[in-house]
Structure 1
Amino acid sequence: MAGFSEAAMSRRLQTLNTTQQSVQMMSMWLLHHQKSHAETIVKVWLQLCVEGMLLVKSMLYYHAQEIKKETTPVRLINLLYLANDVIQNSRKHCPHFMGMFYENLEPAFRHVSVHADADAVVAMKKILRVFRERQIYSDVKVDRLMNAVTSSLTGIRLVEFNIELGGTILNTESIQKSRQTPTTPPNVGKAVDSPHLSTPTVDADSPEPKKSKMDGENFDVKVMTKVTEDVIALLKKLEDPPSADAETRQLIASFPETIANPALLKPITNESQAVELLKKIKEAEPVVKEYCKRLATEMEDRRSLQLLLPEYFGFLKASAVRNDEMLRSVREKVEKLEQEKISVKEHFDSLPDLADLPSSALPPLPSLGELFKSDMGIVEKIQEIEHEISRTQKNKATEYHLGLLKAKLAKYRQQLLEPATKGGTSKGDGFDVMKSGDARVAMVGFPSVGKSTLLSALTTTESVAASYEFTTLTCIPGVIEYEGANIQLLDLPGIIEGAAQGKGRGRQVIAVARTADIILMMLDAAKGEMQKTLLSKELESVGIRLNKKPPLIYLKQKKIGGVKFTHTVPLTHCSEKLVMTVLHEYKIFNADVVFRADCTVDELIDVIQGNRVYIPCLYVYNKIDQISMEEVDRLARLKDSVVISCEMKLNMDYMVEKIWKYLALIRIYTKKPGSTADLGPNDGLILRRGATIEHACHALHRSLSASFRYAIVWGTSAKFSPQRVGIHHKLHHEDVVQIVKK
């Protein structure tokens, strides 16, 4: 690019024309050279502020002098748009340059105003609007420029400027941001047609305009929606237009000027210079071609937007008319209602006074004792709270109210499960059986889903099975022998909806289920989803949490010190205020509370209650011979589910394997010193997964751990076989252990 000098800048300003390309090329040239002349510019700017020198050898002041020399309105408009383009493109990369430029704008605008015509007034208005709307300069600085213009304009030009100014620049809050490119000079001689600038007046004698599709009567919402979406889409595309791509423009400006101006080819006298120029042309061609294509697309978008905006503003006017009509209709209805209200009040005032009637003519009122002779029961209170929770909208404003309701609901449910008599003379007819074997599995389900049939098929116990409901009326135990373990299987009576409130002996059934290691939920495959939802709800309401882990909440009550609440992870479901509300509902005023996970208020209530049990659950879908194969495949793929048929004995072995997996049991063999290991089918110890040598010692004899010296282990838990280990060594399934005492 050609070097910077006052003569070069003067020559370029002389060739500046009204096209957008000319303005942008000149702007890029100025921005390119401001980097190397920044110190000179700052120095000259300071001299201008302090001394007011008239002859300054700098780009900024020279530009202001060119405006003062020029008196042709078209040239003035071009220089104004050049200044505007330089300011906007230096906003991000060199804001100091934009600040220096501002000091020359005020005298420049004052000089343009002296020689302004109608088009110059429009140009100044347009630039000032862009300065204010896009926050290029502060409102105070824009007001200074406006004062410079209004103080220099006189006569009709001042009136035109004030008309253009009204409702657009002064009232910045009531307009939308313009998406036009302010670097594009306006067409000289054409009037500006914008719905923001003025509202046309209609003469009383003029004919009534024809109604269009945007009138209030024929208002088409779908068309307006489509037009609005198109306008928004175009505005989004023009948020970052190619014309504002400073990086590409600076790249184009970095190429030699001889590429774009054939008049500068005369200095080329030899082949090497021509080859070098041709190389630069080939380098610049794809960049310029792509940039021109993007500019053409931008111009098409701007033309489309220019065509859509009048229709869009017409829709807005029609919408306002329609809204006025609707408001007028509503006001008429309100007036009618007010009249009806007055009429009703008059009729009410005309009614006789009951105090004047004899007492025998009135029915007797109920006494206070009759009204409150029976208090609301716990079940009714639970139903009332559940109804209140269901109709309360969940948001930030209601989370404390919901937390309080959930805490009260948990308290009432706990009271419902407690025995009704406190004297201890009668505890009800329970049917719990002694826990035996290595693990306990409880079958829970609705009546006639196949629990008794499954018990008879898996164990040697015969449970009465029939086609009618409530065949089983008590708890019937059985034993499953698998992998050397004895698994106790309980056939519980069928429960019904409302079992948590005691219906159908539901409390006794659920009390036994709480003691199980896993729950086998028997479901009818034909209506399994409905039964699964109801049973899960009943078990959840009495403190049984299926397939869940205890929440990571630490709660320790104290005697003094108040409540200390901390959390180690960010919380999204609970806040400190909500935690305090729930604790106060339970009369807890001194405690340490630590959240180690993002837990909910329900999990906090579970920790406070302290009587929740977390039990694995296996959902068993029976009677699959009565549904389609597609439904069987869908049910089999559900989490924690298995499909069987007790009548046809389908998939029974797989179900037992799943039970073993959910029980998490391991079998350990023992070995005496100097003899072989006891590997018989009935030998070995059954322990929980994760058990250590210490657990094995307790299983063999209570006092063995006290005299323990070391153990020798053969199996997958040992790094090598045999391995000498300590008492805290974790055992694996089918390990062989030899214990050596002191």
Structure 2
Amino acid sequence: MAGFTETAFVKKLTDLNNSSQSIQTLSFWLIHHRKHYTTVVKLWIRELLKAKESKKLTFMYLANDVIQNSRKKGPEYGQEFGLHLKKAFEHMSEAEEKTINSLERLLTIWSERGIYNESQITDFRSALRTYIDRDVMQRCVTDRVAGKDGPPPKKIKTNEPKISSKKKEKTENDVTVEVVQVDGMVETHVHLSPHTPARDPPEPEELIKAIQDLENNIASADEGVRQRIAQLPPSVTEVSSISNIQDKEQAEKLSEQVNEAVTLLNEYNSRLGTEMEHRKKVSSMIRDFLQVQQELLAQAEQNLEEYQDKLIKVYNVRNELKSHIQNLPDLTQLPNVTDGLAPLPSAEHLFMP
């Protein structure tokens, strides 16, 4: 993978387009070079402020992909972006309605998944509404000064998240596919890296270690302790045996046995409780891991289908090209002009009877 330089990153931002493949490829490159996160975010906000209106939303999608998919390997990205996102949302508050809707939806996702805390989300939303609120207030003041009521002002946005024009569909694997409009064009955003759920999915190494720890500390499979419990004498397990006590010595001996049994059972119950909690944790990790793998599988299958369609089109073009070449005249059958052509007939010969 190419090394990181400011020039290379700016060039990649210039070449960035709103396709999922372009966004995800650059996101992967940035996460790989996460040690340069401060420079990355500084250049990102600088280029966003001077980018064309049609690319600003793409810059935000890139930031979202980096923030969500770097939470395990580079959480510093989320923190650094958080310092500049308010400025970015305020800058984009003058965008078109469909762009505002997309940004509102993005904030809702961050809130639901705990990407940023509610205080930060509120600040971002307030920055996004800055231009609209200011425009409405200015029109109200102007109308009052002019002494006319004028038309009712547009409804000021509230704190309720505004759902964008994105269309959600559920696949067979329960994968959410979002269809958005970017610059008037309908686009399906597919990410090779899955969206991060409320709990970060475990890395394969973490899951393997958790399963191995569970296997090495299974209290329910401890045959030795279970056998000791099963072999406890009836005098310890049955209350009726107390009536058989004849003297103080027997009572003290039974009390000692009961205390030992209580200690044994308490320790074993504690181990079983720990095992149960560990099993719940591993079960949750497996569920999150499988969910991510199902998303990856569904997205890979969709990408495979798209590329297979493209391959068929390329094959068709190649066959058409071969057919066209075969129908061209055979240049080898033409006269050899390098040796000179026969002289043209004279006027006499043309008009001779």
- Structure with larger Rg: 1
Greater fraction helix: 2
TM-score (norm 2): 0.45
Greater fraction strand: 1
TM-score (norm 1): 0.23
Which structure ranks higher in relative contact order (CA pairs < 8 Å, sequence separation ≥ 6)? 2
